[in-house]
Amino acid sequence: MAAFLFKRLVHGVIVLWVVATLTFILLRLAPGGPFDRERRLPPEVLQNIEAKYHLNESWISQYLHYLHGLIRGDLGPSYKYLDRDVNEIIADTLPASATLGGLALLFALSVSLAAGLTAACYRDSWLDRGAMFLATIGISLPHFILGALLIWAVALQLGWLQAGRWDQWSSAILPTITLGAAPAAYLAALLRSSLIETLGEDFIRTARAKGLGEITVVFKHALRHSLIPTLTVMGPLTAALLTGSFVVEYVFAIPGMGRFFITAVTDRDYPLIMGVTLVYTAILVSANLIVDLLYTTVDPRIRTT
């Protein structure tokens, strides 16, 4: 286990380095610069700004300077928010994005487990067809449309919840449903398919032949084996949810990383773009590592090597 963790940590560091390098190169290849404006700055002012952020140096020098900062845990200053650095912006915005993503993940797991089990156990019934119909809608409906519909129906028409902001627990209900609906639908369909296949296996027929109850057969034998495909997609799905959705955060006016990332792209704020990208990558690597460790819990036949 220790050797496995060490190897995966080394791989994770390599992935972070590759992502940082590719992002650095792509941003430098993009047309325009971070301080290009419709109204050009005086040459003396532009030279001073470029010297402050090392933009007047060669790409190699800028790259080495950035890597040196990464090693020290410094993501650099923001070009847009002159009084703040990237570390401070991420520290302020990541909790909101992570909270929203965590709630959406719990919502997706709860709904998908209930819907997938119901659809598989009552295959070809109206419950199965209804659950899969809703799952198809959930997968097909974009976030911004679902969010707008929820705001119109629940907040504006019924007046049950507020349409935006992030200042009380009820503020999280609508964005959580909006962000978690598509993952819940996808996981439900995946679990249903896997569970139906597992229920046809020989060991399930043997368990039933021994006189075990259907609840015991499903929850103790079939469900555990059926979770392997679901766990496979949980790594990237968890990372995507925990870092929040840029669209959902914008629709519900949530002060997360999404809003800053969008403005960073439009303003060519290189350090902020790279900082958010690296945070997403780090969460993705960590989530995949946790999923690999969970494999051995769900199926003891799988060994970490």
Query: Does the structure show a pLDDT above 60 at 35?
Result: yes
Angstrom CA distances, 4 to 232, 234, 293, stand at 18, 20, 10
Query: Does the structure show a pLDDT above 80 at 113?
Result: yes
Q: Rounded CA gap, 70 and 47, in Å?
A: 25
Give DSSP secondary structure letters for 291-303.
HHHHHHHH-TT--
Query: Does the structure show a pLDDT above 80 at 155?
Result: yes
pLDDT at 302: 59
274-290: per-residue pLDDT in tens? 988 898 888 888 887 88
Query: Does the structure show a pLDDT above 80 at 254?
Result: yes
Counts for the chain of helices (H) and strands (E), in that order: 13, 0
